[in-house]
């Protein structure tokens, strides 16, 4: 059975994946610096990597919510093309197992997602957005807003292929200071709210720091319960769960960019000096 809401769950399983930025010893910058270097929020440089801790809460109809914790590592691994467009390949790993690939284009005006592939089932699930999806618009400014609508993916069943479309609204809600396991950061909070043609809905809040990238995310997917129940009835397997929602919270734990590590390792204690004969007398 193809679960209703699959597309938006994949959309939000970009969880932590906009953490495409470098880390530095001093994560906050002045407004002038950010204005002169708006792309500093998202430098897609090969070799950069980030590790996040996350909590996933799954609500199943008629049961207590299930909570799971996990740790994910994301890496900018290479250059790649989507059609004729030059992108950077951004990969996600859990326990060294690849589960996600994102194909991002970074321009002076926007961070754009062209394609994503999820490796969480028996077969890879590919989404190629038409038109390409604007994730962030530059420069980062409070109360800036934009929208995206288009094709998200084709879902093949035994009888037909369904095209899933989506419509999303984005807004830079304002500036906030956020504390994570990696430290405190001055950030912009970017909010997203949207729906897909499969009957599901999603919302997210993401916090981005200049020179660091995404440091926190809280995302919620609400699934089409009625649609799931109809699919379960058709399948004849009444033991299948009806998933009501999926909520994910992620925090930056550490990152390594351009040979720099964050948070910095504690300085080694100085070696004790040996007393010379006659000292202290």
β-bridge mates for residue 176, sequence order: 187
pTM of the predicted protein model: 0.80
With beta carbons less than 8 A apart as the criterion, state whether 46 and 79 touch: yes
* Separation CA 122–CA 33 (nearest Å): 46
pLDDT tens-digit map of 13-70: 443 333 333 333 334 444 555 655 666 677 678 988 889 999 999 999 999 999 999 9
With beta carbons less than 8 A apart as the criterion, state whether 25 and 266 touch: no
- Cα distances (Å, whole numbers) of residue 152 to 6, 126, 166, 225, 240: 11, 9, 6, 21, 26
For residue 30, count other CB atoms closer than 10 A to its CB.
10
pLDDT along the chain (281 residues), means of 10: 41 38 37 59 81 94 94 93 96 93 93 92 88 92 95 83 93 94 90 94 92 88 91 89 94 82 61 53 44
Q: Which residues contact 165 (CB under 8 A, 6 or more apart)?
A: 149, 150, 151, 152, 196, 197
Phi then psi for residue 236, to 5 deg, are 85, -5
β-bridge mates for residue 174, sequence order: 189
From the list 228, 241, 233, 163, the residue with the least C-alpha distance to 7 is: 163
Cα torsion 72, 242, 222, 134 to 10°: value is 60
CA atoms within 13 A on the CB side of 183: 18
**Can you give the pLDDT at residue 204?**
96
**Can you give the pLDDT at residue 252?**
92
* Separation CA 230–CA 28 (nearest Å): 50
* Separation CA 247–CA 203 (nearest Å): 10
**Can you give the pLDDT at residue 29?**
45
**Can you give the pLDDT at residue 23?**
33
Instruction: Classify residue 264 by its DSSP letter.
Output: P
Q: Is the bond preceding 278 in cis, omega lying within 30 degrees of 0? A: no
* Separation CA 235–CA 270 (nearest Å): 68
**Domain locations along the chain:** 6-262
**Can you give the pLDDT at residue 18?**
39
């Amino acid at each position: 059975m193809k679960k209703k809401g699959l597309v938006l769950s994949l959309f939000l399983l970009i969880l932590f994946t906009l953490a495409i930025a470098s880390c530095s010893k001093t994560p906050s910058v002045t407004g002038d610096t950010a204005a002169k270097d708006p792309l500093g929020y998202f430098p897609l440089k090969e070799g950069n990597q980030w590790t996040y801790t996350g909590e996933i809460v799954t609500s199943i109809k008629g049961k207590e919510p299930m909570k799971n914790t996990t740790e994910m590592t994301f890496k900018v691994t290479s250059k790649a093309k989507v059609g004729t467009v030059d992108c950077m390949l951004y990969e996600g790993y859990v326990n060294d197992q690849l589960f996600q690939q994102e194909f991002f284009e970074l321009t002076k005006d926007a961070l754009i997602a062209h394609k994503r592939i999820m490796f969480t089932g028996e077969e890879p699930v590919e989404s190629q957005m038409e038109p390409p999806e604007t994730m962030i618009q530059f420069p980062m400014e409070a109360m800036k807003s934009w929208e995206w609508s288009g094709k998200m993916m084709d879902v093949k069943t035994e009888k037909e292929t369904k095209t899933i479309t989506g419509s999303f609204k984005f807004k830079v809600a304002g500036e906030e200071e956020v504390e994570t396991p990696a430290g405190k950061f001055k950030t912009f909070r970017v909010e997203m709210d949207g729906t897909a043609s499969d009957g599901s809905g999603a919302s997210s809040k993401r916090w981005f720091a200049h020179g660091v990238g995404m440091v926190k995310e809280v995302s919620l997917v609400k699934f089409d319960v009625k649609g799931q129940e109809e699919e379960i009835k058709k399948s004849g397997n009444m033991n299948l769960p009806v998933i009501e929602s999926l909520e994910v919270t992620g925090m930056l734990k550490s990152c390594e960019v351009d040979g720099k590590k964050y948070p910095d390792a504690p300085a080694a204690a100085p070696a004790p000096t040996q007393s010379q004969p006659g000292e202290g007398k």
